[in-house]
Structure 1
Amino acid sequence: MRLRVRRRPVKYARLEVRPDGTVVVTAPDGFDVDNLIKRHRGWLEAKLVEIDGLREIAESGFPINGEFYQVIQGRKAKVHTRFKTVVLSPSRDEVLLCLKKFLRKELLPLVEKYAPEMGVNPGKVYIRHQKSRWGSCSPRGNLNFNVRLVAIPPELRNYVVIHELAHLKHMNHSKAFWELVERFYPDYKTARKELKRWWSIIELNPHWRWLSESI
């Protein structure tokens, strides 16, 4: 078990398992970390077994739309949905640009569909390469989506779009916000769990690790 202890002036200790299998404990000075690990050993072992299973899945290809495409090394980056192949060029920037263009074609129709239904008027739509979140909504009404969304099943992208559009009415995660999300995506709690699973898969995927070396 790889253990990393971060001493911080926090009120309560926090225990998490990173996608790479590292166990991270955030705790104040003097806190008994060994006892915390001992008390949660069963949970930790289950999480590490889960990560091992996800690693095997993650290494089976390049994730596109929730499926794993065969990877081909080539001169020009391209996604072939018909043949379920992804051509990766030597340039990370070129590959990311290709994925962003592919994702934009998937996302814009969703924004155009749900925005009028939800009674909101979004500004510009940006697709960025980020390491911490699926999407965000700026105070000016612009929507930011992570290029990693190209990897996940289409129904989960629906949820992310609805989530960010809902922030145009509620710039928080209040009860009213979740009620609006639920109106358009009733099973949002399951979607949130699945997104965590897919985030781990992307973190463990060797091709995405290569793409993320530049950020």
Structure 2
Amino acid sequence: MKVEVRWRPVRYARLEIKPDGRVVVTAPKGFDVEAFLRKHRRWLWNRLAELEEVRRESSRGFPLFGEFYGVKLENGGEVEIRGKTLILPVKREKARESLKALLKERLMPLIALYSTLLGVSPGRIYIRNQRKKWASCSSRGNLSFNLRLVALPESLIQYIVIHELAHLRYLDHSPEFWSLVKRFYPDYRNARKELRRWWGIIEVNEKWLWLEGRE
């Protein structure tokens, strides 16, 4: 187990596990890191085991709408599915733009449907190469969706759309907000767990590393 200690002027120690398996402790100087790790040993091993499972799943191929494909890079400007092989443009930016177009085809009908059901009117819709969030809603009512959504099963895309549209009614995560989300997506708690798992799959996926320029 690789442990990286970051000494910072913080009040409380923090423990993180990075996608590459590194254990990172952020703590104030003089803090007993060894005792801290012993205290959280069971949590650490459980999380590392989960990470190993995510790595195994990620190695199945490139995730697209919940399915895994082998990948072949070819000259061209569009994504194409040939059996269980996904053809991606060899130029990274073209691959991103083509995947954005595929995602937009799935997103827009869902946004139209749930905007009507929730009685809201979103502003501009963006698909961006974000690194930290699945989606966001601005105070002006504009919605930004992460290109990573193209990896997800449609049920999880549906949840994210409902979640962001609900923010047009409640900008916070108040009980009223979650009550509204639950009306249209009763299993939202499990969806949130699944989204954490899929985020991990994308973080360590070889072709997503290439697509996002993280290789």
Shared fold per TM-score greater than 0.5: yes
Q: 1:119 maps to which residue?
A: 119
Q: Distance in 2 between matches of 1:137 and 1:82?
A: 36
Q: Secondary structure at the match of 1:60?
A: coil
1:77–1:87 CA contact under 8 A, matched in 2:
no
Q: Structure 2: how far apart are the matches of 1:28 and 1:173?
A: 31
Q: TM-score, normalised by structure 2?
A: 0.94
TM-score normalized by the length of structure 1:
0.94
Classify 1:118/1:81 alpha carbon distance in 2 versus 1 (closer, same or farther; 3 Å): farther
Q: Residue in 1 aligned with 2:159?
A: 159
Rounded to whole Å, the distance in 2 between the matches of 1:165 and 1:204 is 29
Query: Structure 1: 5+ residue runs without aligned partners?
Result: none
How many residue pairs match? The answer is: 215
Who is 1:35 aligned against? Answer: 35
Instruction: Map 1:14-33 onto structure 2 (within 5 A).
Output: 14-33=14-33
Identity %: 52
Aligned partner of 1:194 in structure 2 is 194
Q: How far apart, in 2, do the equivalents of 1:170 and 1:10 lie?
A: 32
Q: Is 2:44 the counterpart of 1:44?
A: yes
What is the Cα deviation at residue 214 of structure 1? 6.4
Deviation for aligned residue 1:124: 1.1
2:2 alignment partner in structure 1? 2
What 5-or-longer segments of structure 2 have no aligned partner?
A: none
RMSD of the TM alignment (CA)?
Answer: 1.6
Cα distance between partner residues in 1 of 2:173 and 2:81: 36
**Correspondence for 1:179:** 179
Structure 2: which amino acid aligns with 1:58? Answer: S
The range that moved more, 55-64 or 74-83, is: 74-83
Change (3 A) 1:214 1:21: closer
* SS of residue in 2 equivalent to 1:213: coil
Aligned partners of 1:204, 1:77: CA distance in 2, in Å?
A: 25
Tell me, in whole angstroms, the C-alpha distance in 2 between the residues paired with 1:58 and 1:103: 20
| Structure 1 ranges of 4+ moved more than 3 A | 77-82
Task: Confirm or deny that 1:13 pairs with 2:13.
Answer: yes
User: Does structure 1 conserve the Cα–Cα contact (< 8 Å) formed by 2:73 and 2:89?
Assistant: yes
Whichever residue aligns with residue 119 of structure 2, its letter is G
Q: Tell me whether 178-187 or 25-34 shows the greater mean CA deviation.
A: 25-34
| Structure 2 letter corresponding to 1:125 | I
State the alpha-carbon separation in 2 of the partners of residues 43 and 12 from structure 1.
18
More displaced 10-residue stretch of structure 1: 92-101 or 42-51: 42-51
Which residue in 2 is equivalent to 1:76? 76
Please report how far the alpha carbon of residue 81 of structure 1 lies from its aligned counterpart in structure 2 after TM superposition. Answer: 4.7
Q: Distance in 2 between matches of 1:209 and 1:37?
A: 30
Distance 1:55 1:176 in 2: 37
Output aligned runs, 1:132-171, within 5 Å. 132-171=132-171
Q: Does structure 2 conserve the Cα–Cα contact (< 8 Å) formed by 1:167 and 1:177?
A: yes
